[in-house]
Chains A and B, each alone.
Chain A
Amino acid sequence: MDFDESSNKIVPREFVAVVLAGFGNELLPLTGSHGDEPCLKALLPIGNKPMIEYPLAWIEQSGVTDILLICPTTHRSAMSNYIQSDVSSSFPSLRIDLQTFEQSQDMAVGTCALLRHFSSRIQSDFIILPCDFVPPPSLGLNQVLNKFRTESTYDGSIATVCFYEAGRPDKGTTTEEWGMLPSNVPIVFDERSGTLLYVDTPDDVDKNSEEFEFRMSLLTQYPRTKLSSSFRDSHVYVCKRTVLDVLNEKSHLDSLKEEFIPWLCKPQYQRTRREKYGNILSPVTNNVFQGPALKHSTLHLPTQHKHLRHSSEDADADDEHLRSVVPSPVDNEDEDAVEPSLRVGLIAHRSSSGFASRANNLHTYLELNRFFLGQTSYTLPSDPENRSLIDQKAQISADSMIGRSTRVDERTSIKRSVIGQHCVIGKMAKIVGCVILDHCVIADGAKLDGCILGVYTKVGAKAELSRCVTQPGYEVSPGESARNEKLEVSDWAAHETSEDQDSGDEDESTEEESDD
């Protein structure tokens, strides 16, 4: 017994997983508050499971046990409730350190600031995950970690990131009214070595909206690269601890995804940045004694650009035009040991090998729910208690999900929809392609098509909603009909209940920071 415990202490933890749970402003009005209660983005269900369970399960599978979960202060009680009740039972091995950060829904703090703030709590290499990434079953977090382990040890790589291929969103299922359709970020990567070289940023677009500008040094070092706009950032970054030091130094950066990661790609091929940040990113480590071994490796290519720069004095001595062609290991002898590459590794997950997505906006949220519907086949609940709630004459298609304690009345038809727990669905209702969260009440004869209903939404009798999203607690009056709308609890109601309600209508604000 003693032996076991002591060994646990000796082995230092290899990674700490930092899970960022934000407000989810892109998911408004679903994440708007219901009365005084905030509705946490992390706990919005996807396929009737809180979305944060997907990354947590992913982490657990990989064997990483330490999690630093960062959420806004206002979410603390709900989050800690969830952790104590659900997580501890379903993921017993995880040790979750819940930390909060004071921020409001309007003024979300950038992800870089969050990391800087908690950098003292991160003493090892770390993994940053969003709470909304639903990883593909074919890709384990271990694969990402293994790539990082290999390359950071043998190659001086500083980070490994994960991108997933996303098809163009199919038209018709969602509407523009729900906010900007998600777009892919153009990236440049080297497919053979799995290296991320360039991420297009809004700044770059501002600077030159017509053209990409690629550094010649990039193209010299990686003469054959791919430029692709079919990938999206999963926001899963495995980084060395030293990356935090640089992050602390670059204090003006705000967003990890849009600023820091694109920036981090640059030292690997830009010499001046390498000179400046190389020592911070990769302080002199064990590379020294691996150098000789690597020198004889045929797979390992030493960085080429060194050869081009010799002062003119020694140019007399040797025939360099031949040398730059065939670098022989002998030439390197006088140089330092292998220089760390400072590479940013890339796992580019193709959609052909499994669906992955982030639920960071309404489009992808609905898409993910539908994806899980396609995976399940609905059967009537087996326990008599729940079974009795569902009327014999209700028609429920196989690709639907219905939560516990939900009541479905006669002649109601449910197709391709997720119904949460404790819902009450009246007679003759028609629900097609919807996501209905917990505690919703749908009166008789209501028709819902492609809607997402927040918790405690009440839909009056014979109301017709098509492609609508409702804020928690919204009440649709009987007979009302709406199309392509975001239905929010009106302002007077907001004043009655809480203050921070009025942010509901500015959902277009593009704060990526806040939703991871």
Chain B
Amino acid sequence: MEGGSASGSASTLSNNENVLVSCEDSSSPAENELELGLTLSLGGERRVSYADDSSSSSSLSSRASVTAGIKRTADSMAATSGQVVGWPPIRSYRMNSMVNQAKTLAMEDPIKNRTDATKMRMFVKVTMDGIPIGRKVDLNAHSCYESLSNALEEMFLKPKTDGHLEAGLKILPDGSSGLVLTYEDKEGDWMLVGDVPWGMFIGSVKRLRIMKTSEATGTAQMIL
């Protein structure tokens, strides 16, 4: 990670929990390289080395050995529980407001009478293999598997320009589409969607995943 010799001392901070990175001064000759350590406010993850696909100028070619230090893969970003400070740049007032709003929606209000029409929303995360960005679906907006399946198809299987869905792709586990809908229940087990009555499903589902049939077969076998 450290590139070449330098006139300054090697840079480390004494309380070094964070990752250090060298930044190369690209406009000075090698002997006068500055070696700097960089402390970032990111949540303590190790840096992934800089991918060499950059189209930057040739003076930076020697940076192949130097990590920019800030780049991460999408996966490691998603896996981090701690968020980057101040990112995305939303005013903290607004963040607090949104968090409070979300809490209120999730709480049942015993004083106000809520009719069926204004049931609590129940958002669960849905991911589909091969698509990096997860979505969320409100399970209380549906009353049966058919309806849920249609909604997910709409969400994930992008309609062609003429407005029709790709023909024949259904997510219910009838095996014909190459896709299978699974869910993780409260006990942490992965189950096939559709096996139990809807009400029981709603009561135990934590999140959903659309898998390719080939992968599901193995899991299904394990479950069974």
A interacts with B: no
State the A residues within 8 Å of B (CB). Answer: none
State the B residues within 8 Å of A (CB). Answer: none
